[in-house]
Amino acid sequence: MKNVYINSVGSISAQKTFDNTEFLNEITEYNDNVIFAVNPVYKDYIPPAAARRMAKGIKMGIVTSKIALKEANINQVDAIITGTGMGCVRDSEKFVSAIIDNDEQYLTPTPFIQSTHNTVGGQIALELNCKGYNFTYVHSSISFESAVMDALLQLQLDEAKHILVGGVDELGDHTTKIHKIINHIKPEAITPTNLLKSKTEGAVFGEGANFFVLSNEKSNTSYAEIVSVKTYNTLKQEALKQQAIAFLKEHDLSTNDLDLLILGNNGDVNFDAYYHTLSETFSKTPQAYYKHLSGEFNTASSFGFWLASKVIKTQSLPEIVRLNGLQTSQYKTVLLYNQYRGENHSFTLLRQC
């Protein structure tokens, strides 16, 4: 089977990541429990008249896909595969509110049409005039990994050459209130540097979009090779160490072969123990984390994927994401691990190409 490469990246997050010439050079500070994406100038990518009618998730998806395509030096892809947990949740909230406010009468269909989870992938296809395979995965916090696994299969089997893959989620006011009520969001405002010092349950919620051009053809823009992705719906904490070691062993690797471990710690006192277990397992490996910069959302792991890609290509690890003080002379093999509230565990293995 063919190797699969990350040929380009595009990111919009709570940090200024849409500029691919920079790599977390300037950190956007906050003191809150809900953080919003830093917006690029959307009119540089989308006509203003069209952008006004688009939900934020759609705009973020279109812009990051265009950034990724431009960096990959291609105008078209064979497929578009999107992962999202909540889709265009703001339009979903608008439509449900209108049902209640108007007593189920005189409803405009536009918010309903734009609220479906596959709207982002569809709008990207319209922008690119792409008539190929277009699929959206809604698998909670492994939505992005599911999209990557689909692309991997197609590229490895040479059914496609270039596939646009991404993860996107936006914040909605009503949905955010519900998460606060059920303690999924931290009760207190917190800063990025203090997130892991928090002793409360819940996370800092965020939003963002991260798109990548994956290909079975290596190019001069390639960031890294995707070796493997594996997911588990349920995984007991005591079995985590064995599963991580077994995953590496499948690719003839041991814990000593890793140059970097990237973890999805979000400061939730009830569930960060999973990350602590893996952190102890790889105690001799340099470690990093990222949700203090991006916030927590269903496809936040796509931001971790972006981080790993940039680290391998630039061969540098920004100080703001370091989880321990260990250093290495090069970043060749990187393992990412993520879970949310004890479910939907994922391992992603990348290496230098």
| CATH number, domain with residue 308 | 3.40.47.10
Choosing from 161, 189, 215, the residue where a domain stops is: 215
Please, which residues have CB within 8 angstroms of residue 277's CB and are 6 or more apart in sequence? 237, 240, 241
Contact present, 211 and 65 (Cβ < 8 Å): yes
Do 171 and 204 belong together in one domain?
A: yes
Do 236 and 165 belong together in one domain?
A: no
User: What band does 187 get if pLDDT is binned at 50, 70 and 90?
Assistant: very high
Do 132 and 178 belong together in one domain?
A: yes
pLDDT digits (tens, 9 = 90+) for 286-321: 999 999 999 999 999 999 999 999 999 999 999 999
Choosing from 184, 215, 246, the residue where a domain stops is: 215
Do 22 and 163 belong together in one domain?
A: yes
Looking at residue 114, what is its pLDDT? 72
The total number of structural domains in the chain stands at: 2
Do 153 and 15 belong together in one domain?
A: yes
Average pLDDT over residues 201-220: 98
Average pLDDT over residues 199-227: 97
Per-residue DSSP letters for 242-311?
HHHHHHHHTTT--GGG-SEEEE-----TTTTHHHHHHHHHTTTS-EEE-HHHH-B-TTTHHHHHHHHHHH
User: What band does 109 get if pLDDT is binned at 50, 70 and 90?
Assistant: confident
Contact present, 166 and 58 (Cβ < 8 Å): no
Looking at residue 116, what is its pLDDT? 82
Do 133 and 159 belong together in one domain?
A: yes
Do 209 and 234 belong together in one domain?
A: no
| Integer angstrom CA distances of residue 80 from 37, 53, 128, 303 | 23, 22, 10, 18
Do 316 and 210 belong together in one domain?
A: no
Q: Which domain holds residue 75?
A: 4-215
Do 128 and 264 belong together in one domain?
A: no
Lowest mean pLDDT among 96-100, 120-124, 175-179: 96-100
Query: H or E stretch including 338?
Result: strand 333-340
Choosing from 198, 215, 232, the residue where a domain stops is: 215
Instruction: Examine the pLDDT at 183 and tell me if it is beyond 80.
Output: yes
Read off the DSSP letter of residue 341.
T
Query: H or E stretch including 204?
Result: none
Do 167 and 283 belong together in one domain?
A: no
User: How far is residue 134's CA from residue 283's CA, in Å, rounded to a whole number?
Assistant: 41
Query: H or E stretch including 51?
Result: helix 48-51
Do 74 and 206 belong together in one domain?
A: yes
Do 202 and 339 belong together in one domain?
A: no
